[in-house]
Amino acid sequence: MRRRVLPLVAAALAVPAALVTTSAAHAAPADKAAVLSSWTQNSASSYNAWVAARNNQSAWSAYGFDWSTDYCSSSPDNPFGFPFQTACARHDFGYRNHKAMGTFDAGKARLDSAFYADLKRVCAGYSGAQEVSCNSTAWIYYQAVDKLGSVAPSGVAAG
């Protein structure tokens, strides 16, 4: 009788263990918040790390990040020829993923500040009147997301 009970007990214990393993495999990695934070900072290194990850999204699929973007929403993606599209995409990434994690309110100011830093890096590639015009446009874009970004419905990032 003891020989028959042991296999049944072992099988019964294996089922919950398999369920835990399966559930853990589908859960986002524990460092998701840290990775998200590292990709949404003001620094050029944060921006560059995000661009590299965006170009290799499949390597980050376990994290379940939302990579969707409408770029600069209803504003031009490249106003006056200034290429703001990628900065807008990173801003969308930050908004969408922080909203999904419930950390948007705490992170909004930093996300908007990082957006402005990205735009200023674009403008740094110009000189003279073009740089001044680019920086003025960047300021307008920043002010729009700073003042209106949080009023966008969830899943839509104003930026």
- Cβ(134)–Cβ(122) under 8 Å? yes
Q: Does residue 18 surpass a pLDDT of 50? A: no
Active-site position among 46, 72, 82, 91: 91
- pLDDT-derived band at 26 (thresholds 50, 70, 90) equals low
Residues 154, 98: Cα–Cα separation, whole Å: 11
Hey, what are 37's tokens? 């934070």
Hey, what are 146's tokens? 């700073």
Residues 48, 55: Cα–Cα separation, whole Å: 11
What is the residue whose two structure tokens read 């589908």?
26
* Residue 66: CB atoms within 10 Å: 14
Q: Does residue 39 surpass a pLDDT of 70? A: yes
Q: What is the pLDDT of residues 46-79, one digit of tens each?
A: 999 999 999 999 999 999 999 999 999 999 999 9
Q: Does residue 127 surpass a pLDDT of 80? A: yes
Class of domain 28-151: mainly alpha
Domain ranges of the chain: 28-151
- pLDDT-derived band at 154 (thresholds 50, 70, 90) equals very low
How much is the mean pLDDT over the chain? 85
Q: Does residue 25 surpass a pLDDT of 90? A: no
- Cβ(98)–Cβ(107) under 8 Å? yes
Residues 92, 72: Cα–Cα separation, whole Å: 8
- Cβ(53)–Cβ(59) under 8 Å? yes
- pLDDT-derived band at 131 (thresholds 50, 70, 90) equals very high
Helix H segments across the chain?
2-26, 32-38, 44-54, 85-101, 104-123, 128-148
Whether residue 91 lies in the annotated active site: yes
* Residue 85: CB atoms within 10 Å: 14
**For a pLDDT cut of 90, what percent of the chain falls above it?**
75
pTM confidence score: 0.79
Q: Answer with the residue of higher pLDDT: 25 or 119.
A: 119
